[in-house]
Structure 1
Amino acid sequence: MGSTPSTSSPPPSSTAQPTGTPALRLWGLLLVLAGNMLIDALEVSVMVVALPSIGTDLDLPLTSAQWMITGFAIGFGGLMLFGGRVVALLGRREVYLTALLGFAAASVAAALTDDIRLLVATRVVKGLCAALTAPTGLAIIQTTYPAGRPRDRALSVYTLFGASGFTAGLLLSGTLTPIDWRLTLAFPAPVVLALFLLGHRLIPRTPPETGRHDAAGTPRRYDTAGAATCTAALLTLVAGITSAPAHGWTSPRTTALLAASALLLTAFVTIERRTPQPLMRFTLLGNGPLARSILGAAALNGSYLGLLFVLTYELQTLDGWHPFTTALALLPAAAPLAATALLSGRMIAAFGTARLIAAGSAFPLAGYLWQLRRPWPLDYTTAVLPTMLLVGTGFVLSFAALNTQATAQLPPQHRAQGAGLYQSAVQAAAALVPALAAALLTAHRPPAGAPASEFLTACRPALVLVTLIGALGLLTALAGLRPRRG
């Protein structure tokens, strides 16, 4: 859900700012970092409610409109590891401020165009900017605020803003979409520009985390080829999936896109295995807790966004709900995480990550199964609300536990890369599952004029997909409960 930061990796030992830094300056810096984290975190949810209006106004099928969600996730997930490399080589302040300007420019461009290709491009750019700022903000906190209570308080505020982003995005979209859906794309621009001006004064200047050459004198590389092939593989895979309803799975267009995705993914793996400074070390996947966390978090986030995609389509397109009413209807799944974000550490200490993840995977699956049996017309109290509450409970229990488990057993020098791999997988699921849901909704959509009940029945394959992904998450979590030898 969103881009809530993980604070499981150890803070760097150096401190960029002296402990005597005025408190007001530190609070101002925290406002910049936490405010931008809030913007990053709401970029997906703000599109969930606005999507039907965008599709109607631009006359887009579901398979095209879904790019407003998946484009951002592809930019975020496909370039997360690359973003960490860029920050390490160029420096946090420079990259962070540049990413803020890029985010604002993309927001303005998106609000001014009707071209779906340009809209998708701006979403990918915003995802890249988020991939640069989200982990960098956390690193700035860990090196700027004195260890102890000041740093703990700053991390709590930062985490709270990240956890609140999805909820804020739903409410903001529900408010702005009835006025003009373009406002949901444009509103970040003035906010981010204000954060840029404050950040230009307050973000400390620090040298790059690594020099331009390693200890042996070898130049450090960005691994642009790895980043490009990874992102292109995701883009072509989503394009192939969404092409199938209109052209068929065996059509030359669909086949070419899926084949291109497979070739690009193969190229990415080959590049990463051969380059001396890879973005992704595949040996990390041999770590059981990290691998289970990746699969569990991807299943949790992907199934949740797939569910919201289907429900928004049903409530707004089929049942004619107002965008703000739709936003309120979805809140019970998002708000509990924001309300309990600061309690996650105590829960993990009391119950352990494996138990929380298992319980947190069971609740959403129960909600998805409940959706498969609902009648038409949809009654919110008996059909939708129970699912929202069950999904919200699942996030409260397992979201922070998955973040913590992902890197807890990695060597310190590999934790940053493990965390990046984890976040990349979560965003990849956010791209693929809505695309699959859109393809299934389009493929099974009855002809115009059919009874509304037939449209609801046509949503069932997409809900089955969501349920199967939720079941995969539960099976993965249960594997983590098995006693380990040695």
Structure 2
Amino acid sequence: MSIGLTPSDEQSGGSTPATGRTDAVHWPARLWGTLFIVSGVILLDGLDISMIAVAIPEIQQEFAISAATAQWLVSAYILAFGGFLLLGGRCADLFGRRRVLVVGLGVFAVVSVFGMITNDPILLIVSRFIKGMTAGFTGPAAMSLLATTFPEGPQRNKAFGIFNLFEASGYSSGLIVGGLLAGLDWRYIFALPAPIAVLLMLAALRFLPPDAPRTERVRLDVGGAATLVAGTLLLVFTVASTADAGWTSWRTTGGFALSALLLIAFLLIERHAEQPLIRLGIFRNRSLVAANVSAALLYGGAMGFQFLIAIYLQNLQGWKPLHMALVLLPAGLMVVILGPKLGALMNRFGVRRVLMAGLAAFVPCYLLMLRIGPTPDLWTVLLPASLLWGIGFALSISALMVAGTSGVADEEQGLAAGLLNSSLQVGGACGLAVVTAAIMPGTELAMLYPGVFAILAFAVLTLLAQLIHRRR
């Protein structure tokens, strides 16, 4: 479904401001309903990811498991999410976005209830893997529904601003809600997403238009799907395991080599497949490629920053997770404040200028981290860094999503969404692994500074990726 605009309304990816346009975008109730449903899906994903992070100590204590095992409650979700995003996005294109969204939400709700009642830590980790897998289908389906409902230009710019407002709100509120629920019983953290998923599923069935019938037979590229999922899962697992195995171990080098072979096999299959899972010609879209490279680098630095803040405040300073969440709360507030205005900002100044402003904000944010000392400095270091982090995310993520889906046909919007989300997840895993390898062992403050230089390098490279794209 798409709303027709005049040709002048469809320019969204250039660096030239859109002059002569009105910033006012008026939608009927059914479009607001679609936007709130897909935004609710991404809010649920952010909420679920962040709530579990603060409950790990309580779960570890109840089941008497090691920290390495408990960490898989987060890593299993990320592993499955990153591994199934591309397949999930393409399935949304092939089999229907509403259909994939509804089935995914139903499975998500059932697995949430199972995680709440299980008394086996291994099954709890398995439930997290399945939830990550379902998010790998619902996330691209929601994003492609948004991109195909709202056309390029002012409407899509505004829609993505609100969409990312929900995502950031889910993540930031999840840290606080998770801290409060974990203080009562960590099982409430698994229970809360279930009714939300059910409500979203019912709303999707009631208000989203049915998927258009296909006039031709749809065949899933099984060979491509198998090699893609296996290669991506192995890649994310290898990157996530480098902290334990080391970058030069046989396990790491072998994992990278085998994942590379699987992904090369996938490309060979796609070149000759009658109905490929991924049409390789989509990578001729330079805006899409630049957006994916920048997304990977941005999220790599962001995950590293959050990891360093956690080590500094919780491990070195002895702060509680809830206290750390309050330090990062200004970042979420900046997204809440700027989110509704992003559509107007992109319409006025152009997507690329908004994107460059957002990416530039990460540089002073990470530079401030070089000033951390034995005593936390809230007013001149931590809170300003949090504010800059929020500004960077608010401006850049929405602009990247617009750039990464511009010029893509409706029938490939799920694929574009899957690519962008895969770049974010794999980039985040790589960034976390690089920062973990960069910091020195021990509990001394000095060990954090190499990690700060690493995330600063990510921020600079993100800017360079866009500057190179702009000159071409």
Query: CA deviation digits over 1:358-386, x for unaligned, max 9?
Result: 22212112211221332223323333222
Q: 1:409 to 1:253 in 2, by over 3 A?
A: closer
CA contact under 8 A between 2:301 and 2:455: conserved in structure 1? Answer: yes
1:264 counterpart (239, 251, 262): 262
CA distance in 1, matches of 2:76, 2:351: 32
CA distance in 1, matches of 2:293, 2:181: 35
Q: Which residue is 2:12 aligned to?
A: none
Task: Verify: 1:445 aligned to 2:441, yes or no.
Answer: yes
TM-score w.r.t. length of structure 2? 0.81
Q: Which residue is 1:379 aligned to?
A: 377
CA distance in 2, matches of 1:306, 1:110: 28
Q: Which runs of 5+ in 2 are unaligned?
A: 5-27
CA contact under 8 A between 1:82 and 1:222: conserved in structure 2? Answer: no
CA contact under 8 A between 1:29 and 1:202: conserved in structure 2? Answer: yes
CA distance in 1, matches of 2:171, 2:465: 25
**Amino acid aligned to 2:185:** D
Q: 1:329 to 1:67 in 2, by over 3 A?
A: same
2:448 counterpart (459, 473, 477): 459
Q: What is the SS of the residue equivalent to 2:184? A: coil
CA distance in 1, matches of 2:465, 2:145: 34
Q: Which residue is 2:2 aligned to?
A: 11
Q: 1:398 to 1:266 in 2, by over 3 A?
A: same
Q: Which residue is 1:470 aligned to?
A: 459
Query: Across the two proteins, how many residue pairs are aligned to each other?
Result: 449
CA contact under 8 A between 2:90 and 2:415: conserved in structure 1? Answer: no
After the TM superposition, which residues 54-69 of structure 1 pair with which residues of structure 2 at under 5 Å, given as runs?
54=59, 65-69=70-74
Q: 1:178 to 1:346 in 2, by over 3 A?
A: same
CA distance in 2, matches of 1:370, 1:60: 37
2:198 counterpart (189, 193, 199): 193
CA contact under 8 A between 1:49 and 1:326: conserved in structure 2? Answer: no
Q: 1:353 to 1:200 in 2, by over 3 A?
A: closer
CA distance in 1, matches of 2:248, 2:178: 38
Query: CA deviation digits over 1:324-381, x for unaligned, max 9?
Result: 2221111122221222212112111222222222222121122112213322233233
Task: Verify: 1:131 aligned to 2:120, yes or no.
Answer: no
CA distance in 1, matches of 2:168, 2:279: 29
Residue 200 of structure 1 and its aligned partner are, at CA, apart by: 4.5
TM-score w.r.t. length of structure 1? 0.79
Q: What is the SS of the residue equivalent to 1:292? A: helix
Q: Which residue is 1:425 aligned to?
A: 423
Q: Which runs of 5+ in 1 are unaligned?
A: 1-9, 14-22, 214-219, 447-451
Q: Which residue is 2:15 aligned to?
A: none
Q: 1:257 to 1:77 in 2, by over 3 A?
A: closer
CA contact under 8 A between 1:371 and 1:387: conserved in structure 2? Answer: yes
Q: Which residue is 1:369 aligned to?
A: 367
CA distance in 2, matches of 1:436, 1:464: 11
Residue 410 of structure 1 and its aligned partner are, at CA, apart by: 4.4
After the TM superposition, which residues 70-149 of structure 1 pair with which residues of structure 2 at under 5 Å, given as runs?
70-113=75-118, 117-137=122-142
**Amino acid aligned to 1:281:** R
Q: Which residue is 1:7 aligned to?
A: none
CA contact under 8 A between 1:48 and 1:309: conserved in structure 2? Answer: no
Q: Which residue is 1:42 aligned to?
A: 47
**Amino acid aligned to 1:300:** L
Query: CA deviation digits over 1:37-81, x for unaligned, max 9?
Result: 321233333344445555566666666555444433343343233
Query: CA deviation digits over 1:180-201, x for unaligned, max 9?
Result: 3343233201322343345445
CA distance in 2, matches of 1:221, 1:134: 22
Q: 1:26 to 1:233 in 2, by over 3 A?
A: closer
**Amino acid aligned to 2:129:** V
Q: 1:11 to 1:423 in 2, by over 3 A?
A: farther
Q: What is the SS of the residue equivalent to 2:183? A: coil
CA distance in 1, matches of 2:101, 2:243: 40
Identity rate of aligned residues, in percent? 37
Q: Which residue is 2:181 aligned to?
A: 176
Residue 143 of structure 1 and its aligned partner are, at CA, apart by: 7.9
Query: CA deviation digits over 1:74-93, x for unaligned, max 9?
Result: 43343233223333443344
Query: CA deviation digits over 1:240-283, x for unaligned, max 9?
Result: 34444444444443343333322222222222233232232333
Q: 1:154 to 1:402 in 2, by over 3 A?
A: closer
**Amino acid aligned to 2:2:** P
**Amino acid aligned to 1:11:** S
CA contact under 8 A between 1:232 and 1:261: conserved in structure 2? Answer: yes
Residue 466 of structure 1 and its aligned partner are, at CA, apart by: 2.0
CA distance in 2, matches of 1:25, 1:349: 23
Q: Which residue is 1:399 aligned to?
A: 397
Q: What is the SS of the residue equivalent to 2:374? A: coil
CA distance in 2, matches of 1:52, 1:108: 21
**Amino acid aligned to 2:45:** D
